[in-house]
């Protein structure tokens, strides 16, 4: 809003203020309708229903969520929902989330890498008529997706897209102040952080929420002024409201999972070397053969560009590797207002490029119609030099 508001801005601000007072918010928070197609331990797989009178066509897209953060990241609000965007384009769209993950001291990351993500990929492929699956993963979900693809090369994966997934934790600013507390490296280390999480049994929800909000401290401090300055902008207010709901629904990290993330990723920075030990075997990212696109957020303080870019030289077996810098912070790069014209457009082009020919038709029935047109032919398996795209306005995401 201008320093001296225009009459139109005054009218808009008054209308938004009245709506906030009467209804408590301005955002359309209705979830996109979906149907569960598979479930199991730590696994719920959903298919988003096609838009009215729409025909699903092409290879399916599977959205992979991280731990602790809710699946709302992919369906933040109407108008800023990646799910809504994919469905509107007629793409068969699916999501795997993990149900109510208990605060279990013995629960590690192995189930997600060995069972949850691989099973979700297979179930989606079957449900979509045997077509290969485009895996789109955000944050820690990207680590799950990459490790699952490396561990199970036979998975029917058409491509992998990872957004805001840090590989080199030495470049993450939020971790730097805690490094003196980590203690010596090695399995017998007993630094302050080690003793704390062992005593608690993991990372409780308030701590996880605080860590996420800490990355936008200045925005939290100036929030009343920010809201007042944008009271005439309903879309801006809706985004703040939706992000607040997302943050309030973050959950705890199970004990052993947090311990593995802490010791292997934060402390030892193991994955930056390209491999990790799981259940007595080595899982190497070089085993990934599917094409991979990696997104870094220009203003991401949880997964800075350099920490995300570190995965590129490790993907030596991938058919193609591409890197894109897009506007936004950790959440904003995925589902911010600027993402609609940047991240999502790059993702659309990538999915089109690596979609297969429709040799296998999707099943017919009341809930699914036969594909109406051919998907773009898959291009030759060549390596391309990493590219970058940046630009777009700043946004109120964290």
Tell me what pLDDT residue 75 has: 97
pLDDT band at 21 (very low <50, low <70, confident <90, very high): low
Q: DSSP for 33-64?
A: PEEEEEEETTEEEEEEPPPTT----SS-EEEE
pLDDT at residue 124 greater than cutoff 90: yes
Tell me what pLDDT residue 222 has: 46
Tell me what pLDDT residue 286 has: 97
Look at 187 and 228; give whichever has higher pLDDT: 228
> How many other β-carbons are positioned within 10 Å of the β-carbon of residue 331?
29
- Taking the mean position of all CA atoms in its chain, how far away is CA 292? 15
pLDDT band at 356 (very low <50, low <70, confident <90, very high): confident
Tell me what pLDDT residue 280 has: 85
pLDDT in tens, 294-334: 999 999 988 999 999 999 999 999 999 999 999 999 999 99
Tell me what pLDDT residue 49 has: 96
Please give the model's pTM, rounded to 2 decimal places.
0.75
Distances 254 to 36, 101, 209 between C-alpha atoms, Å: 25, 8, 15
pLDDT band at 217 (very low <50, low <70, confident <90, very high): very low
Beta-strand relationship, 281-284 and 133-138: unpaired
Alpha carbon distance 195, 189 (integer Å): 9
Triad 262, 120, 349: Cα angle to 5°: 90
| Least confident among 34-38, 283-287, 374-378 | 374-378
pLDDT in tens, 78-101: 999 999 999 999 999 999 998 765
Alpha carbon distance 370, 373 (integer Å): 9
pLDDT band at 261 (very low <50, low <70, confident <90, very high): low
CA atoms within 13 A on the CB side of 88: 12
Tell me what pLDDT residue 385 has: 43
Alpha carbon distance 85, 51 (integer Å): 10
Tell me what pLDDT residue 371 has: 36
Q: In the chain, what are the domains?
A: 31-178+271-353 (3.40.50.1820)
């Amino acid at each position: 809003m201008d320093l001296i508001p225009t009459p139109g801005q005054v009218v808009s601000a008054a209308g938004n203020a009245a709506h906030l007072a009467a209804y408590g918010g301005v955002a359309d928070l209705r979830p996109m309708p979906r149907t569960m197609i598979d479930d199991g331990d730590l696994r719920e797989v959903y298919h988003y229903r096609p838009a009215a009178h729409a025909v699903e066509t092409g290879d399916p897209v599977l959205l992979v969520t991280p731990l602790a953060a809710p699946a709302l990241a992919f369906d933040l609000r109407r108008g800023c929902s990646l799910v809504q965007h994919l469905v509107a384009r007629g793409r068969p769209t699916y999501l795997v989330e993990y149900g109510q993950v208990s605060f279990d001291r013995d629960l590690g990351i192995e189930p997600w890498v060995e069972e949850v993500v691989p099973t979700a990929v297979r179930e989606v492929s079957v449900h979509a008529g045997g077509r290969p699956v485009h895996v789109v993963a955000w944050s820690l979900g990207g680590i799950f997706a990459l490790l699952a693809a490396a561990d199970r090369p036979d998975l029917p994966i058409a491509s992998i897209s990872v957004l805001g997934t840090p590989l080199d934790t030495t470049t993450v600013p939020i971790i730097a102040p805690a490094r003196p507390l980590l203690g010596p490296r090695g399995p017998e280390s007993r630094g302050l952080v080690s003793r704390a999480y062992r005593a608690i049994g993991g990372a409780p929800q308030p701590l996880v929420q605080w860590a996420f909000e800490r990355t936008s401290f200045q925005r939290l401090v100036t929030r009343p002024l920010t809201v007042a300055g944008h009271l005439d902008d309903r879309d801006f207010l809706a985004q703040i409201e939706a992000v607040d709901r997302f943050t309030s629904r973050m959950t705890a990290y199970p004990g052993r999972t947090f311990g593995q993330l802490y010791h292997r990723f934060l402390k030892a920075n193991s994955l930056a070397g390209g491999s990790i030990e799981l259940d007595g075997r080595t899982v190497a990212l070089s085993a990934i053969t599917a094409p991979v696109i990696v997104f870094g957020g220009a203003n991401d303080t949880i997964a800075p560009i350099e920490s995300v870019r570190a995965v590129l030289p490790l993907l030596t077996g991938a058919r193609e590797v591409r890197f894109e810098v897009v506007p936004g912070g950790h959440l904003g790069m995925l589902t911010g207002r600027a993402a609609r014209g940047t991240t999502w457009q790059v993702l659309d082009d990538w999915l089109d490029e690596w979609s297969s020919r429709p040799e296998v038709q999707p099943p017919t029935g009341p809930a699914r119609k036969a594909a109406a047109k051919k998907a773009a032919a898959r291009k030759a398996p060549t390596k391309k030099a990493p590219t970058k795209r940046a630009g777009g306005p700043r946004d109120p995401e964290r």
